[in-house]
């Protein structure tokens, strides 16, 4: 059995100290247990909340002005109440799909019978949609790479060490990426392969590194770039 981690990334501009979040992680362990939420939370006993992690890094979430969602599955967009001043970027097609997902995706988008309003909807007034590839900030851009969801986007981050590729859930581990074995949770397999080919070509040409949010190996290192 493959163990999965759940997390998100904080990008820091060392010149301005500005923080940009890529996704905002999942709900607290207490909330999931209370609501019998469909995650394997028994593997995550003792995991800190996002607020606790940010506090330990001396990051004030109220000072975060930009959040980029790789997609709107609810393990990637919880904790939004921590970020009242952030503009939250998502692909337009992803927002549309989150409103009307297929029945098999209801749980992923926290719809129909699951507790509470979907997390992304709680910050609807903060959402900003983009169409396709675009630059979000200096040295940070997104590519539309559908496959896992119709509006999945990959975040490319330029650093002194070279570029990093934050690929959301298109790949759960490096083996899936390298061998081309989809993780089984996808909406369009052709799109998934096209996005993978594009990323592989980019990495080969630039030496970029791939960071995978659900791969425990990612979290053996605390800082990148």
The answer for residues whose C-beta is within 8 angstroms of residue 5's C-beta and 6 or more apart is 213, 214, 215, 216, 218, 219
Q: What is the pLDDT of residue 86?
A: 98
Q: What is the pLDDT of residue 1?
A: 41
Render pLDDT for 176-193 as a digit per residue (tens, 0 to 9): 999 998 777 789 999 999
Phi-psi region of 147 (alpha: psi -120 to 50; beta: other; left: phi over 0): left
Q: What is the pLDDT of residue 7?
A: 84
Q: What is the pLDDT of residue 206?
A: 97
Q: What is the pLDDT of residue 4?
A: 58
Phi-psi region of 75 (alpha: psi -120 to 50; beta: other; left: phi over 0): alpha
Q: What is the pLDDT of residue 178?
A: 92
Q: What is the pLDDT of residue 201?
A: 98
Is 162 within 8 Å of 207 (Cβ atoms)?
yes
**Complete DSSP assignment for 32-96:** HHHTT-SS-GGGGTTPPPHHHHHHHTT--GGG--EEE-S---TTSS--GGG-TT-EEEEEHHHHH
Taking the chain (225 residues) in consecutive chunks of 10 residues, what is each chunk's mean pLDDT? 71 94 85 63 66 93 98 93 97 96 88 81 96 97 97 97 95 91 84 96 97 88 89
Domains of the chain: 9-220 (3.60.15.10)
Is 76 within 8 Å of 70 (Cβ atoms)?
yes
Q: What is the rounded distance in angstroms from the CA atom of residue 4 to the CA atom of residue 131?
A: 30
Place of tokens 């820091």: 12
Q: What is the rounded distance in angstroms from the CA atom of residue 102 to the CA atom of residue 203?
A: 33
Q: What is the rounded distance in angstroms from the CA atom of residue 110 to the CA atom of residue 35?
A: 12
Q: What is the pLDDT of residue 39?
A: 54
Q: What is the rounded distance in angstroms from the CA atom of residue 160 to the CA atom of residue 165?
A: 14
| SS3 category, 12 | strand
Model pTM score: 0.93
């Amino acid at each position: 059995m493959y163990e999965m981690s759940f997390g998100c990334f904080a990008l820091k501009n060392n010149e301005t100290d500005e923080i940009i979040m890529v996704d905002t992680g999942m709900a607290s362990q207490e909330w999931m247990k209370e609501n019998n939420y469909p995650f394997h939370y028994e593997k995550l006993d003792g995991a800190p909340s996002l607020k606790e992690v940010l506090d330990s890094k001396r990051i004030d979430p109220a000072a975060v002005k930009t959040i980029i969602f790789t997609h709107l599955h609810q393990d990637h967009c919880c904790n939004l109440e921590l970020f009242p001043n952030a503009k939250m970027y998502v692909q337009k097609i992803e927002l549309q799909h989150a409103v009307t997902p297929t029945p098999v995706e209801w749980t992923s988008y926290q719809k129909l019978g699951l507790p509470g309003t979907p997390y992304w909807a709680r910050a609807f007034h903060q959402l900003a949609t983009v169409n396709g590839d675009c630059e979000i900030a200096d040295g940070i851009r997104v590519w539309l790479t559908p496959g896992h969801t119709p509006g999945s986007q990959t975040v490319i981050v330029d650093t002194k060490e070279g570029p990093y590729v934050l690929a959301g859930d298109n790949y759960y581990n490096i083996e899936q990426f390298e061998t081309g074995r989809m993780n089984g949770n996808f909406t369009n397999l052709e799109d998934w392969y096209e996005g993978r080919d594009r990323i592989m070509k980019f990495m080969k040409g630039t030496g970029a590194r791939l960071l995978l949010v659900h791969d425990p190996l990612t979290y053996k290192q605390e800082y990148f770039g």
